[in-house]
Structure 1
Amino acid sequence: MVGRIREQLDREGLADNTVIVFASDHGIMNGEFGLGGKALNYESCLRVPLIIMDPRVAPSECGRRSNALVESVDIAPTLLDCAGVELPRGMQGHSLRGIIEGTEDAVRSSSFAENLWSTQFGNPRIESVRTDDGWKYIRYFKNDRSLFEEIAKKKQFRATPKLIASYHDWLTASINGEEPVFEELYHLATDPSESVNLATRPTCTDKLHQLRAECQRLVTFAKGEVEQAPATVVIDQTKGRKAQ
């Protein structure tokens, strides 16, 4: 598929002016820990391929591999930067152009991830942080799926006010003081499979506290300064529709 796209770009005379990004939205659990699916914050779910080809990059820099911590929110700033467009004020993410061109090695020292998806199937609310020195912290929050079970029973698969209010609470719960019900701490540098939880080890107490604070900082930065989380803004879904 990628090859055919590049061939078509050549035919259209656009190959020298097109940045190509190949990525995925999530990984997958294939039996690790006896689990399946895509809604957890283990590395097998969070890590995705990211290949960026900019035809303007010097041949000496082509094919470079990077171990930099990046996030999906970096893709939009990267493309805008490559196009010479000034990034909008308040836009999340970092441009990866420096990494692509070989002028930078990293854009952040820690990365944040969360899961709020498909809790009606029992997936927990999760937040996690990974640092560039090989540490990973995951925290889980109490999951009440009774509302989703009620919606499923009534077949009300739409954004009801009650559901929006519940989702808003989930989005902002941790920055408003909700305590996690379970924590995990892994040293990925020596335990890449995340098999030894160090959260209760006395020797790792300082690291646990450090990553708790970093996770709180990142989640607050991501969504703690808005009056209403963007995903819960009510949109009139009837606009533009013809009367039935």
Structure 2
Amino acid sequence: MLQDNINTASRCRNDIDIINCYKYHNSIVNCCSYDIICVNCYKYHDNIASRFRDNINIANCCRNDINTASCCRNDINIANGCRNDIYTASSFRNDIHTASRCRNDVNMANCFRNDINTASCSRNDINNASCFRNDIYTASSFRNDINIANYCRNDINIANCFRNDIYTASSFRNDIYTASRCRDNINIASRCRDNINIANCCRNDINIASCFRNNINIANGCRNDIYTASSFRNDIYTASRCRDNINIAN
């Protein structure tokens, strides 16, 4: 068997007949979990790399084997599979090496936008969550993906992004799901006080503006922040709060 023969295994880099075995023979496919020589083939051959997309046996290796999983870090062909394959996509949830790719790889980053399985990782994985802070591609997902947007309510790592990222900040203006977070999440709410991009939203967005009525943390910001304070002058919705809310009135 291929996994028992290092000389034969090492040939998979150069021999089309051995490469084809990966496509058709489970006994050889299964060696990817055990044999580092076989694993190295993934790095160098488009034919083998593309199997991540099409073959359940190879795809499963990504989940369990550090050597095959690390290929996701280095190989564009395998990386592209994350977008289309439920098995490789789920690796984001379990593997620190593939998870860290969000920060650096446009192909994997795009998965957040299109794949519910990788999107749901934001809730559970600190490595994926931190990507929102640093990656323009994942950050923009807040605007387009209901699954990721919903996590704003529950995840402090994502919530903190509102302070630092112009792309997530602008979501307040366009996304009813993230906008409603103002009411429920103290971490996001306090951003109104500190971030000019979010503060400006108060002027333009009825969903955020209405938060002034219900949230003491945002209301208190009006007293101390020139950006939110100036909203009263221009926005009929926030202006009317003066009449009803003692915190804003003060």
What's the TM-score once normalised by structure 1's chain length? 0.23
Is the strand fraction higher in 1 or 2?
1
Is the helix fraction higher in 1 or 2?
2
Indicate the structure whose relative CO is greater, using CA pairs within 8 Å and at least 6 residues apart.
1
What's the TM-score once normalised by structure 2's chain length? 0.23
Structure with higher Rg: it is 2
